[in-house]
Amino acid sequence: MTTIPTRDGKHIFLNDWGAGRPVVFCPGWPLTADMWESQMLFLAQNGFRAIGYDRRGFGRSSQPWSGYDYDTFADDISDIISNLALSDVTLVGFSMGGGDVVRYLGRHGSQAVSKLALVSSVTPFLMRTKDNLDGVDGSVFEGIKAGLTADRAQFLADFNTYYFGTNRDGSSISEGVLSQTLQMAYTGSLKATLDCVTAFSETDFRADIAAIDVPTLIIHGDDDQTAPKGATGDRTASMIKNSIYRVYEGAPHALYVTHKQRLSEDLLAFARG
């Protein structure tokens, strides 16, 4: 088991595969490093060092009572990079993890980072407010927290429908994938699972995005029912100068499964470029 210490005395679990230039994979909510297994294996087999980690509160990392905010998540990435003495890093963030990597750049700068990839990201600001009318109504997130509090296990099982798009014609997600996803989700603490909903819905990343100064790849499905493309991918791409924006036609949120080979190849080409 590989772990690194954090500045506040906690520990973060890592999968660290391969050798070469590092690619650090940040997971989505409420999952772990294992969600990235296909992409990490592919990049490690093609000359890169693939590093995935469990966000604090989930999986094999520490599960403290508090600290589930994006400044802390960004500091955890900084501690990973520092403890492993990484440089020339490609940061990859999925969904909630898009916020982690963007806040890392806004808070710690790009000295150790050469590239950024955002996959189905929640950026730039998910919740609808007076100055963010394209966002999602706050009642949606209150409903998520209410469902988790009432029956987390069943809520997450039902959530898979929209996450993988199994309510769409032609969906072919295996029972094994659905089971593995729930196994990962159930390893998180309920407190972390709830607090992260507040974090990813209420955090405004617009200032962080304005400061991005590294080549950026944005990938989003145009049938994403979890982080709708119009409120997220489209706006993020418009805000990052010279970014590469790839839209996967008919794709849901969980691209790392539903489009795993295409995503793996796109990430490899970007990291190599």
Domain holding 193, by residue range, is: 2-272
Three-state secondary-structure class, residue 200: helix
pLDDT of residue 134: 86
Residues whose CB falls within 8 Å of the CB of residue 235, separated by 6 or more in sequence, listed in order: 124, 134
* CB-CB contact of 254 with 182 (8 Å): no
pLDDT of 78: 98
% of the chain with per-residue pLDDT over 90: 96
pLDDT at 1 over 70: no
Indicate whether 135 pLDDT > 90. Answer: no
244 pLDDT more than 90: yes
- Which pLDDT belongs to residue 136? 86
Number of structural domains in the chain:
1
- Say which CATH number the domain at 207 has: 3.40.50.1820
Q: Which positions are catalytic? A: 95, 224, 253
pTM above 0.85, yes or no: yes
**Distance between CA 58 and CA 253 in Å, rounded?**
20
Average pLDDT over residues 109-126: 98
Q: What is the pLDDT of residue 133?
A: 87
Query: Which residue type does 37 have?
Result: E
3-state secondary structure of 231: helix
Q: What is the pLDDT of residues 91-109, one digit of tens each?
A: 999 999 999 999 999 999 9
Taking alpha carbons only, the member of 217, 250, 187 closest to residue 39 is 217
